[in-house]
Amino acid sequence: MRSAQAAVLACALGCAGAQASETHELIGQLGARTVAMNLYASPLPDGSMRVSGDYLLLPTLQQRFVEGERSRQLGITVLREGTTPILYGRLPLATLQGTWTGGVFRGTRHGPGGQPRERFVLSDRFPSMAGYDARVHCEVAEGRYRATLAYAVEAGRLQSFEWRSRVAPGEHPCVLTGLEQRAQEGGLRFASGECSVLLRDLGEFVRVRAEGCGAHCGSQGYLEPMLVDRRGQCLLVRAQR
């Protein structure tokens, strides 16, 4: 799911007239599996939060979508899980139940019948990329979307960066160049004005995601998040049943 789409979905589910949704990235363990999660939390009138998002099981790249609520005081969070971004009217595959406080979401994943399945602990503290070295040049294409990504990083310092995409049939483009490095804990951030690109170490992959870069795109252009593997090859993240 594109980050912009997820944020719009979060707002449509319950933040009309409220503040803009907050984006939270988490990483950790679901049972024995590594998980990278994106959550979009929107305030509700009673002080609780409407939450939607997705998580990625690594290294199999299975994607799951979640929606639910987080309580105001104790951070009690219940998220229904499915294989599509729109979960309304569908029976959930599972439910994540726990507490989300201090940047840590921990609890138990329950099956559709309520039976406990796996414990999970997810945190917003990602590994440092201060020693990251990479030279990446890759192309991806799927459906109407195609993109090229090229960057060089030495010892965690940006040397060069270029990210281009086009969306058929109108060939609406996005072009990101001339980014400068900004301070970032648990990853690397490259930015120009309000537009920034965030790199996160997910273990088997590095995730590359753009934020606030609409001004660099045509009317229907966008930048899909990418995963870069250890060989420098790139993948788009798509929902897998």
Q: Do the beta carbons of residue 109 and residue 117 sit within 8 Å? A: yes
Residue 209 is predicted with a pLDDT of 95
Closest among 235, 240, 238 to 147, alpha carbons compared:
235
CA–CA–CA angle 214, 217, 219 (5° rounding): 90
Strand partners, 174: 165, 217
Q: Where are the domains of the chain?
A: 3-123, 134-236
Residue 237 is predicted with a pLDDT of 77
Model confidence, pTM: 0.84
Q: Do the beta carbons of residue 5 and residue 222 sit within 8 Å? A: no
Residue 18 is predicted with a pLDDT of 41
Residue 238 is predicted with a pLDDT of 62
Q: What are phi and psi of 201, to 5 degrees?
A: -85, 115
CA distance 162 to 85: 30
Fold classification of 3-123 (topology level):
Lipocalin (2.40.128)
Residue 44 is predicted with a pLDDT of 95
Per-residue pLDDT of the chain (241 residues; tens, 9 = 90+): 444 344 433 333 333 344 578 999 999 999 999 999 999 999 999 999 999 999 999 989 999 999 999 999 899 999 999 998 888 778 899 999 999 999 999 999 999 989 999 999 999 999 999 999 999 999 999 999 999 999 999 999 999 999 999 999 999 999 999 999 999 999 999 999 999 999 999 999 999 999 999 999 999 999 999 999 999 999 997 644 3
Backbone angle region of 83, left / alpha / beta, with phi > 0 → left and psi within -120 to 50 → alpha: alpha
Alpha-carbon distances, residue 61 vs 43, 187, 229, 241 (angstroms): 30, 20, 12, 11
